[in-house]
Structure 1
Amino acid sequence: MRAFIPPELPPNPPVELAGLHQHLDRANQALGRLDGLTTLLPDTKVFLYLYIRKEALLSSQIEGTQSSFSDLLLFESDAEPSVPIDDVEEVSNYVAAMQHGLRRIAAGFPLSLRLIREIHAILLRGGRGANRTPGEFRRSQNWVGGTRPGNAAFVPPPPERLMECLDSLERFLHDEKHKLPILIEAGLIHVQFETIHPFLDGNGRLGRLLITLLLCFKGALREPLLYLSLYFKTNRDRYYDLLQRVRTHGAWEEWLAFFLEGTEITARSAAEAAKQILTLFAKDRDRIQTIGRAASSALRVHEYMQKKPLVGIGAVADELKLSIPTVTVALDHLVRLGI
């Protein structure tokens, strides 16, 4: 199979937006409600802590990594996970890469090829990706599927054309003249990045991560609350089929309908999850209030563990400036209450 050089964005002929208006309206409404929810959350960090780690797990699992949420928490607490350390390290790197990108964008740094390389360097540091040139665009030919380019399902641009494709993508990213809706732009950029496949490894994870970073960079989200990995994982065959149909048939409208539907479903699910977490924490606080004099310290421990669900008694005592016996009693109450 010959290497594929993607045409520049925006597509020519232009995307037929008329047939996508309903999808786009529903996706924008769901995204707007999710973004608005951030003003109602008493502490967005609690929800983000859980949600970013869930996304890191799902995105890494798409690439074959075997790790659970508890494995990640154990690793972050310097304890021993139940799966190979490389698997958990990859998930932890995803969390760190996402946080780095968000910090840079919040500080005013543009979403650019330079930032993409920085994020990739963190994504692949240590673990199995350490020997796959983290933070460097590839200098050799890669392929998707098969054992060699000749029998591959897809062959990205050759290395000598790589920077040409990437520079074009970066220009589109910062070109305000096309005036496309942000979600349409995000859908186009995701396909283009996956088609260019600029790294030897980590392209899928980084491509999914870029969706959220782009929405934050463009101001569509105040907090990084939208992650499509579960939708892509659930519809894996359809996802890969549509990526390929864009390349072979220019089927942008099919892909964008799928992408917008995923955005709507995911945004609604995230908003519902946030509401359920708020309700759960409120019920827990009401139950803790019934235990009498120990309620004050138990509430503090409960609030701390929302941000760090797996932690040692000594660490909680140090952080909250409580005695170990006080923390122990508080935890006993939380266990007895089923919290």
Structure 2
Amino acid sequence: MRTVVIGTRRSELAVTQTQWVMKQIKGVLPSSWEMKQERIVTKGDQILNVTLSKVGGKGLFVKEIEQALLEGRIDLAVHSMKDMPAEMPEGLTIGAVTVREDARDCLISRTGAKVEELPEGAIVGTSSLRRQAQILAMRPDVQVKPVRGNLQTRMKKLMEEKQFDALVLAQAGINRLGWEEKVTQIIPEEKMLPAVGQGALAVQCRVDDREMLEILRGVHDEKSAMAIRAERVFLHAFEGGCHLPIAGYATIDGERIHLRGLVVDPIGKPLLQGEAVGTDPEEVGQTLTSELMEKGARQLLNKVKEGIE
């Protein structure tokens, strides 16, 4: 018998996602094996007073969990794919990518106003540079302010404390918590391109854990994995997207991968976008990277980095 220890963040959403993954794994796990959850506090959960881009970006939500995995304290880790940095520590791998939930972003407003209907000067909360830039591209007359904390905390700041007029959130998280009725508007991809990997979960394990890798094949969704591979190749080219708003979303039609990508200044302009189509995720991601580099993405990245330094 083996007890499989699965690591997760402590938020209600992270725990809910992990429980869902555990149900999928249970269906392919040997009957004598058991599973248990290990809830881990990450740096991203502790630092709530500044935006992610200023304190290290995506890796803040995974580093402590990955360390537990490397040290053998846990056997698997469940992450939101969009939180996964472009680079992964040596010795770890993504053993499975789950079926993707709705990848789009949504707006929850106090008055029921959609993005187009928000009054001039309305305060929109988001912790994401990508969402900030795309909201400002649509509505340069609103204010975007950072909001951190779990979904329950953010909703309290919106509805009870009235710190914001609206929030922009991932629809996938809302769906997983069963909060669909709270959503004012699902924002179409054409208006707000999702984050790389948004809507999917990554199940991470050690490269040398052959037993676990074999089991995870039973919960892996190859179609979602191919789309996200193309997106992550694109993300990797821009040094992980910590400081520059980057969006990438791929869909699969038969064997063809259609990837749309966007690189934008945090203030909402210039906004560079493009698309690539092909059958190989690596090639598709690289083709889109080249297209946006030619349009000026490299200069934009350098400009933003100089501003930070």
TM-score of the alignment, normalized to the shorter chain, above 0.5: no
Q: TM-score, with normalisation over the residues of structure 1?
A: 0.25
Higher relative helix content: 1
Larger radius of gyration: 1
- The structure with the largest strand share of the pair is 2
Between the two structures, name the one with larger relative contact order (CA 8 Å, sep ≥ 6). Answer: 1
